[in-house]
Structure formats: structure tokens, C-alpha cells
């Protein structure tokens, strides 16, 4: 079932990655001087495009393991990083 | 994952389109109808067939109604499932916020009141849990609409519009997530569709209706897809952005403490209290604030009417009143003035939108379409229907391309997809027209009047699927299902019957509505008649073709190689 594995990586991996992107972009924008809620709006504005790109890449990339590593692993790393850093700013 | 980038994109396009196309068909069709949701409301609730009117006096007409509004039982039920413990009795709930709004297409002023509940939410991310109550006011008379009329199912805003974005699947917000995934699928299908066709500009001008089914179907799929590409991309994107906060909740989930600090800082900066103070306070004349707002808009060179009034923390010393200019003259929403409820003095004026807010506001407004620009509104309606045509021809191409091969090897794939396509294209129209007809024919005093209309809708749709399945054996031998033709006749009959039933039950026939220039009802009737005509024409031509090809079914050597390389 290579097709199902590919769809799972695109949808789930891409989803984790996009959440990582949104939270880290909100925080980065805020740190670089945007108002918090404006940074958040910007991140959500870009979220759909990022998810789209992640899904397409998941189908274009030959090695499925790499898709999971970059999208799933990268997304988780961004989430954890933003979570830790946001607590430093309080 | 395939040999080349283009082949993997083609593979993705085919299978994603097949799986999500059924949902997308619903989203695009009922989204198109929602462009005219207020007009469908007028058609389906004839007692409200009146001209739109400007915002009434708040102090005289709206204010007395606030205290009369009680929590809505449906909302109580919904919130009860979201919180820990049992909710207090509805009569003990305290109103906290209220909003009242109208629009240039609406003869009603609608209001909602949010009631506080003391319970903690099950999901810690929901920081504010409320129960809502509703009321509608007739701006012509200033009277509140009687409850039976106010709660009557209006098919536009009450049924087709929610079907468009959440499929009426409330459980765990499942409908929102399915529509969201389908919306992402639409974007993927658009990009992969462009990638797999290198000669995209030539295809833009290519339509070969005489060149065999497979060719013309593909041409039509490409033509609608390419012609409407900017629209299809932007409408999918903007629709997803409306719910992005729900689909991607990572900032609220992971940085809640930082967000709360920033919320407090924003409240400090603007002077608009995020939480009530707990001390009682009064409400000055809102009419005076509205007058002040109109004067300020006129002075700023953007004269306009009030579109919405929102009051935060009703009855509290920190209560404030937000007054927004109506959105007839622009796509984006916003432009709000905030007044102290107690003194009526201006506290804060929304600054001009930053670049981010301007883009966000434009995309949001593009999807909600509050503006007053009829050609643009029709263009968006037609764009939505082109999206439907693009999706439907995608199904047809999938079936046409495979049915001969599947017939030879006895695979049921093409037959199943064709039956599902019949149900999701013509069956959806059968269900919609049946519901409009039921809306006019079911007696108003029937218990469960609203529920019966919905039952007619869902059962008509289910019937169309069964009918499509029963009539599909001809696809299994490489032919065309007669279900398409049958259901086109049903659409034509039901749409015509709906127009006649509207005349019979309300007396509003086309000569009268067009003569009076009452376009909300005339428009729905005209679109129904146009739909009936198109469906009848399609049924007639399908019948003629079936008669012509029934004896030469196996003879035509159709070029099955088109796109073969790209499709797997």
C-alpha cells in the first residue's frame, strides 16, 4: 500500500509541519517587532500555502522516510522550539 | 515518487480528485448558492419578502429586545457537550455580550446575545464558552419577529450555507475538518493539474465538442479549470483561511500564556477591556454613538451607514460599544469605532489596516461577499458553478477513460465511480430542487416543518444514489448510464414545479415579481427556470445520443491513449 503511506505522510506529516510553521512564525514575527496578533494573522495567512507545498513535496520526493523526517520531525522540532522559547519571553 | 515530478503530480491529481471530488462538488455547489443566501431566504420564508432597510434606531427598537432574548435550546445543548458539569438553568444565565447587524440585501436586523456560563470547558483551549440566544427585528416596523417566524428554517442562511462549510456534521466538528481537507485537496488538484499539462495556454482555447466523448470531456475539464483558475485558487484559499485558527491551533495551544499577556497588553493599549470589571455600569444612548460614528466617517471621506453594533460586557462599568461601517463599498470588512457604553465617548478607533491585515481582510471579505456589486456577485456565482463543472468533468473523464478497459477485465471501478458521480452531480440537484419544492408544499403548521424539509433533501439524495446504482449496469459494458438522463428529467420537473408551487402558495409569479422589481424572489425563480431548461436540454440530448449509439456500442475506436502516459 505505497499510496496510502504516501497520503498519510502528505496529510499527517504536512499537518504537523504546518502547525510547527504557524507557531514558530507567530513567535518569530513577534520577536522581530510585529504585534503578537498581527504576527499570528500573518502565520495563519501563510499556513495554507505552506501545507499545500508540504503535500506536493511529499509526493514528489522519492524517499518516504525523508518525507516523514522533514515534515513530521521538522514540524515537531518547530513546535517544541516555539513552546520553549515562548516561555522564556514571559 | 513516480519516475518524474510530472508523473507523480498526475498520479496525485487523479486519485486525490477522485476521493475528494465528491465533497468538493458539495462545497462548490452550495457555496455558489450561498452567494445568494439572503435571496433564497426570502424565497423560502415568504413572510419576510420585503425590501432591505437601513439600520433602525437602536435605543427604540433594539434595546428593549436585548432583555427579552433567552438562551436558544439548540445552543444550550451544544455548549452542554463542551463543558464540564451541568449548565445552570437557562433563566439564570447572564447576558454578557450582544451583536446586531444587517446588510444591504437583508430586510431583517438580526441580533444575538451571548450568555456567560460558569462551567469550565472540556477543551482548555476554548477560553470563552457561551450560550447564545437570537432575535430578529423588522426594521420597517421596529417590531421583533414572532418566534415561530424567527426560528423557521431559512434555506439559504440556515441550510445551504452551513452545508457548504460543515456538511451538517456537527459531531466533533467533523464536517469542518472534512471540508478543510477537501479544500486543501482542491488546491493540490489545481497545482498538480497545471503541472501535468505543459500546453496550458493552448488548452485554454481548446474545445473539440465533436471529437468523441473522452476528448471533449477532457477539453471541458481543462477549459473550466484554466479559465477559472485564479478564482478557484483564491476562493479555496480564502475559505480555508476563515477556519485556519481552527485547523492549525498551534499558537493558541502552545503559547497560551504569552498570548494572554499580549491580549492584556492590547486591552491596555486600546482601552477596550478584555474582561468585565465586575462593577455595574449603564448604557448611554447608542443612537447618539451611531450618529457620532456616521459624522466621523463622513469627515474621513467614507460616508456610510452602520452595519453592525456590538456591545461587550453588557451592564458592566467597563462595557464598550463597537460600531462598524457597513461594507457595501468595499471587499474587506472592518472600519470600527469603539465607544464607552457608560459615557458614549469614543475610546478607540481602529487604525488603518497594516499590510498583513489588509490582505487578510480582503481574502475574508472576498469569501463572505458583503459588498454591493451585483455584476461581481454574479461573476462569483458563475465562478463557483465553473468549479462544479470542472469537478464533474473530472469524474466523467475518469470514467470514460477506464470504462472500456474495466469492461474487458470485469473490474467494477468505472461503474461504481459513475454511479457516485451521478449521485453527487445530478443527484445533488435533484435533492436541492426537491427541498425547495417541499419548502413550498409542506403546510406551515405541520409539526417539524423544518425537519421534514431536511428529510426530503437527504432522502431525495439517497434515492438518487440508489437509482444511479440500479441504472448503472450499462457502464460495466462500456456504455453510458441512463441514470444521467433520468435524473436530468427529474431536475427539470422538480425545478419547474418549485417555481409553480411558489406561485400557487404565495401568489408571487414572475410577471408580478419582475414587474415590481422584487429581484430576490424573481431571481431565484429565474435561476430555477434556467436550470430546468438546461436540465431538460441535457436530458433530451442524452436520450438522442443513447438512441444513436445503442446499436454501435462496440464499434467506435475511441482514442484511449489521451493522457495515458500521465494517468496511472
- pLDDT category at B91 given cuts 50, 70, 90 is confident
Task: Evaluate whether residue B177 is within a structural domain.
Answer: no
Q: Which among A18, A49, A82 is the nearest to B248, CB-wise?
A: A18
The pLDDT assigned to A1 comes to 56
Task: Evaluate whether residue B176 is within a structural domain.
Answer: no
Of B525, B538, B372, B554, whose CA–CA distance to B49 is shortest?
B525
Cell of A55: 503535500
Provide the shortest C-alpha distance from residue B19 to chain A (in Å): 11
Task: Evaluate whether residue B114 is within a structural domain.
Answer: yes
Judge whether B249 and B126 are in contact, CB under 8 Å: no
Rounded to 10°, the helix B428-441/B483-506 angle is 20
Rounded-to-integer distance, Cα A58 and Cα A66, Å? 9
Domain that holds residue A58: 2-88
The answer to whether the CB atoms of B254 and A86 lie below 8 A apart is yes
Closest residue in B to A50 (Cα) is: B184
- pLDDT category at B203 given cuts 50, 70, 90 is low
Q: Is the pLDDT of residue B517 over 60?
A: yes
| From A20-24, B213-217, B447-451, the region with the lowest mean pLDDT | B213-217
Total count of domains within chain B: 2
- pLDDT category at B552 given cuts 50, 70, 90 is low
Measured between beta carbons, the chain B residues lying within 8 angstroms of A51 are 184
For residues B56-67, give the mean pLDDT.
Answer: 95
Provide the shortest C-alpha distance from residue A57 to chain B (in Å): 10
The pLDDT assigned to B202 comes to 62
> Last residue of some domain: B368, B402, B418?
B368
For residues B260-278, give the mean pLDDT.
Answer: 94
What percent of chain B is modeled with pLDDT above 70? Answer: 94
For residue B137, the Cα-to-chain-centroid distance in whole angstroms is 24
Per the listing, cell 491580549 goes with B263
Classify the phi-psi angles of B320: left when phi > 0, otherwise alpha if psi is within -120 to 50, otherwise beta.
beta
The answer to whether the CB atoms of B248 and A19 lie below 8 A apart is yes
Mark whether B455 and B559 lie in a shared domain: yes
Provide the shortest C-alpha distance from residue B168 to chain A (in Å): 23
Binding-site residues on chain B for chain A (CB distance < 8 A):
1, 5, 8-9, 11-12, 15, 181, 184, 187-188, 191-192, 237, 240-241, 244-245, 247-251, 253-255, 257-259, 261-262, 265-266, 354, 356-357, 359-360, 363
Total count of domains within chain A: 1
Mark whether B300 and B353 lie in a shared domain: yes
Task: Evaluate whether residue B320 is within a structural domain.
Answer: yes
Range B370-373 contact pairs with CB under 8 angstroms and sequence separation of 24 or more: B370/B103, B370/B307, B370/B326, B370/B327, B370/B328, B370/B333, B371/B327, B371/B328, B371/B329, B371/B330, B371/B331, B372/B104, B372/B328, B372/B329
Mark whether B349 and B420 lie in a shared domain: no
Mark whether B335 and B468 lie in a shared domain: no
Provide the shortest C-alpha distance from residue B242 to chain A (in Å): 9
The answer to whether the CB atoms of A87 and B257 lie below 8 A apart is yes
Number of H helices and number of E strands within chain A?
Answer: 5, 0
Closest residue in B to A66 (Cα) is: B1
Rounded-to-integer distance, Cα B137 and Cα B111, Å? 8
Measured between beta carbons, the chain B residues lying within 8 angstroms of A34 are 356
Task: Evaluate whether residue B68 is within a structural domain.
Answer: yes
Task: Evaluate whether residue B144 is within a structural domain.
Answer: yes
SS percent in chain B: helix, strand, coil, step 5 = 60, 10, 30
Mark whether B423 and B554 lie in a shared domain: yes
Q: Is the pLDDT of residue B560 over 70?
A: no
Task: Evaluate whether residue B419 is within a structural domain.
Answer: yes
> Last residue of some domain: B368, B400, B426?
B368
Mark whether B469 and B549 lie in a shared domain: yes
- Test the A interface: residue of B1, B14, B188, B262 with most A CBs within 10 Å: B1
The pLDDT assigned to B554 comes to 47
Mark whether B461 and B514 lie in a shared domain: yes
The pLDDT assigned to B563 comes to 41
Closest residue in B to A18 (Cα) is: B248
| Residues A30-51: tens digit of each pLDDT | 999 999 999 999 999 999 999 9
The pLDDT assigned to B557 comes to 43
Mark whether B351 and B480 lie in a shared domain: no
Task: Evaluate whether residue B166 is within a structural domain.
Answer: no
Domain that holds residue B481: 410-568
Measured between beta carbons, the chain A residues lying within 8 angstroms of B8 are 59-60
| Residues B409-454: tens digit of each pLDDT | 888 899 999 999 999 999 999 999 999 999 999 999 999 999 999 9
The answer to whether the CB atoms of A22 and B15 lie below 8 A apart is no
Provide the shortest C-alpha distance from residue A69 to chain B (in Å): 16
Which residues contact residue B122 at a Cβ distance below 8 angstroms, ignoring those fewer than 6 apart?
B82, B83, B84
Mark whether B56 and B139 lie in a shared domain: yes
Provide the shortest C-alpha distance from residue A58 to chain B (in Å): 8
- pLDDT category at B200 given cuts 50, 70, 90 is low
* 3 state SS for B177-214: HHHHHHHHHHHHHHHHHHHHCCCHHHHHCCCCCCCCHH
Q: Which among B8, B251, B359 is the nearest to A40, CB-wise?
A: B251
The answer to whether the CB atoms of B251 and A62 lie below 8 A apart is no
Mark whether B356 and B479 lie in a shared domain: no
Provide the shortest C-alpha distance from residue A60 to chain B (in Å): 6
Q: What is the ipTM of this complex?
A: 0.97
Amino acid at each position: 500500500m505505497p499510496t496510502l503511506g504516501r497520503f498519510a505522510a502528505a496529510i499527517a506529516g504536512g499537518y504537523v509541519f504546518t502547525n510547527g510553521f504557524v507557531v514558530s512564525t507567530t513567535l518569530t514575527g513577534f520577536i522581530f517587532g510585529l504585534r503578537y496578533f498581527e504576527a499570528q494573522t500573518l502565520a495563519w495567512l501563510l499556513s495554507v500555502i505552506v501545507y499545500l507545498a508540504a503535500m506536493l513535496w511529499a509526493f514528489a520526493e522519492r524517499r518516504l522516510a525523508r518525507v516523514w523526517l522533514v515534515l513530521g520531525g521538522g514540524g515537531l522540532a518547530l513546535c517544541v522550539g516555539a513552546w520553549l522559547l515562548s516561555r522564556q519571553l514571559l | 515518487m513516480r519516475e518524474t515530478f510530472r508523473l507523480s503530480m498526475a498520479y496525485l491529481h487523479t486519485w486525490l480528485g477522485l476521493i475528494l471530488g465528491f465533497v468538493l462538488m458539495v462545497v462548490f455547489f452550495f457555496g455558489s448558492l450561498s452567494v445568494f443566501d439572503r435571496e433564497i431566504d426570502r424565497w423560502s420564508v415568504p413572510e419576510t419578502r420585503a425590501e432591505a432597510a437601513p439600520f433602525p434606531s437602536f435605543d427604540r427598537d433594539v434595546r428593549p429586545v436585548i432583555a427579552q432574548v433567552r438562551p436558544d435550546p439548540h445552543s444550550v445543548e451544544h455548549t452542554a457537550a463542551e463543558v464540564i458539569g451541568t449548565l445552570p438553568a437557562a433563566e439564570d444565565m447572564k447576558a454578557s455580550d450582544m451583536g446586531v447587524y444587517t446588510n444591504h440585501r437583508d430586510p431583517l436586523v438580526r441580533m444575538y446575545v451571548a450568555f456567560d456560563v460558569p462551567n469550565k470547558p472540556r477543551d482548555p483551549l476554548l477560553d470563552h464558552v457561551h450560550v447564545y440566544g437570537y432575535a430578529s427585528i423588522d426594521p420597517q416596523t421596529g417590531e421583533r419577529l414572532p418566534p415561530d417566524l424567527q426560528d423557521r428554517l431559512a434555506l439559504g442562511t440556515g441550510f445551504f450555507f452551513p452545508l457548504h462549510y460543515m456538511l451538517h456534521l456537527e459531531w466533533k466538528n467533523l464536517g469542518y475538518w472534512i471540508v478543510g481537507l477537501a479544500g486543501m485537496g482542491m488546491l493540490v488538484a489545481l497545482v498538480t493539474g497545471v503541472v501535468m499539462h505543459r500546453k496550458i495556454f493552448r488548452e485554454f482555447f481548446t474545445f473539440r465538442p465533436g471529437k468523441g466523448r473522452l476528448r471533449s470531456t477532457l477539453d471541458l475539464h481543462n477549459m473550466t479549470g484554466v479559465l477559472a483558475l485564479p478564482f478557484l485558487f483564491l476562493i479555496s484559499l480564502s475559505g480555508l483561511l476563515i477556519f485556519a485558527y481552527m485547523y492549525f491551533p498551534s499558537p493558541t495551544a502552545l503559547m497560551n500564556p504569552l498570548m494572554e499577556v499580549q491580549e492584556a497588553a492590547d486591552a491596555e493599549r486600546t482601552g477596550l477591556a478584555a474582561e468585565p470589571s465586575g462593577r455595574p455600569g449603564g448604557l448611554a444612548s447608542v443612537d447618539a454613538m451611531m450618529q457620532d460614528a456616521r459624522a466621523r466617517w463622513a469627515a474621513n471621506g467614507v460616508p456610510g451607514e452602520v452595519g453592525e453594533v456590538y456591545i461587550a460586557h453588557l451592564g458592566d462599568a467597563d462595557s464598550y460599544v463597537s460600531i462598524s461601517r457597513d461594507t457595501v463599498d468595499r471587499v474587506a470588512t472592518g472600519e470600527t469605532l469603539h465607544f464607552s457604553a457608560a459615557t458614549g465617548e469614543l475610546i478607540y478607533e481602529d487604525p488603518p489596516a497594516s499590510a498583513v491585515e489588509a490582505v487578510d481582510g480582503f481574502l475574508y471579505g472576498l469569501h463572505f461577499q458583503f459588498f454591493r456589486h451585483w455584476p461581481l456577485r454574479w461573476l462569483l456565482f458563475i465562478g463557483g458553478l465553473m468549479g462544479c463543472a470542472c469537478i464533474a468533468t473530472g469524474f466523467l473523464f475518469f470514467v470514460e477513460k477506464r470504462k472500456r478497459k474495466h469492461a474487458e477485465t470485469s473490474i467494477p471501478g468505472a461503474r461504481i465511480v459513475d454511479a457516485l458521480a451521478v449521485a453527487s452531480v445530478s443527484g445533488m440537484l435533484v435533492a436541492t430542487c426537491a427541498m425547495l419544492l417541499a419548502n413550498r408544499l409542506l403546510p406551515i403548521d405541520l409539526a417539524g416543518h423544518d425537519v421534514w424539509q431536511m428529510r426530503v433533501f437527504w432522502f431525495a439524495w439517497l434515492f438518487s444514489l440508489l437509482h444511479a446504482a440500479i441504472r448503472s449496469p450499462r457502464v460495466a459494458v462500456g456504455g453510458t448510464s441512463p441514470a444521467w438522463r433520468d435524473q436530468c428529467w427529474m431536475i427539470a420537473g422538480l425545478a419547474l414545479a418549485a417555481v409553480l408551487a411558489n406561485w400557487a402558495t404565495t401568489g408571487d409569479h414572475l410577471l408580478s415579481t419582475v414587474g415590481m422589481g422584487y429581484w430576490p424572489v424573481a431571481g431565484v425563480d429565474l435561476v430555477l427556470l434556467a436550470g430546468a431548461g438546461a436540465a431538460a436540454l441535457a436530458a433530451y440530448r442524452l436520450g438522442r445520443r443513447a438512441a444513436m449509439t445503442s446499436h454501435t456500442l462496440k464499434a467506435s475506436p475511441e482514442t484511449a491513449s489521451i493522457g495515458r502516459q500521465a494517468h496511472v
